[in-house]
């Protein structure tokens, strides 16, 4: 799928799940995007660089959970029984970054923004900029 197809699918799901029943200000949208980036920073601070899964509490699930850390798996088994990563909440830096992209695409869907064209335009412009333009350090 291209970005606009993702935009449309993501926005349709957000509407279906009730996230657009009331109006949100642009500031609220930006704050929600920022919150996802803050969650990515917290995952970084915790050392969770890749995707991991939190177990569900569903006792009918019988597959073992998948964690990078065996202690988390043991705790999950102790409290919840076995878990299935396919039915569990994904976590980690990549997931939080994806959440930010999802929020951006959702907003673009609401506003009808052609985000694919905007990315192309900005990328083309960035190609013309000099090395470390503006003299900024980072």
Domain ranges of the chain: 1-12+28-51+92-122, 56-89
Higher pLDDT, 135 or 99: 99
Report the length, in residues, of the chain: 138
Whole-structure pTM value: 0.78
Those residues whose C-beta lies under 8 Å from the C-beta of residue 18, and which sit 6 or more positions away, are: none
Q: Distance (Å, rounded) from C-alpha 89 to C-alpha 102?
A: 16
Confidence (pLDDT) at 134 = 82
CA–CA separation, 48 vs 68, rounded Å? 9
67 vs 6, residue with greater confidence:
6
At what angle are helices 115-127 and 3-16 packed, to 10 degrees?
Answer: 140
User: Rounded to an integer, what distance in angstroms lies between the CA atom of residue 113 and that of residue 46?
Assistant: 35
Q: In the prediction, which pLDDT does 55 show?
A: 61
Residue 62 has pLDDT above 50, yes or no: no
- At 75-96, the pLDDT tens digits run 554 444 445 555 577 888 999 9
Average pLDDT value for residue range 39-58: 81
Residue 43 has pLDDT above 50, yes or no: yes
Query: What pLDDT is attached to residue 89?
Result: 78
Residue 104: how many other CB atoms lie within 10 Å: 20
Q: Which two tokens stand for residue 85?
A: 């990563």
Mean pLDDT, the chain, rounded, equals 83
């Amino acid at each position: 799928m291209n970005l606009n197809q993702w935009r449309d699918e993501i926005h349709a799901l957000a509407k279906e799940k009730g996230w657009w029943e009331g109006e949100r200000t642009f500031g609220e949208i930006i704050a929600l995007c920022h919150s996802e980036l803050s969650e990515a920073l917290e995952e970084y601070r915790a050392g969770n660089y890749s995707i991991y899964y939190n177990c569900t509490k569903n006792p009918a699930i019988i597959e073992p959970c998948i964690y990078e850390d065996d202690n988390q798996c043991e705790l999950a088994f102790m409290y919840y029984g076995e878990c299935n990563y396919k039915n569990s909440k994904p976590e980690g830096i990549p997931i939080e970054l994806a959440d930010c992209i999802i929020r951006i695409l959702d907003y673009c869907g609401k506003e009808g923004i052609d985000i694919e064209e905007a990315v192309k335009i900005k990328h083309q412009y960035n190609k013309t900029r000099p090395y470390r333009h503006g003299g900024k350090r980072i």
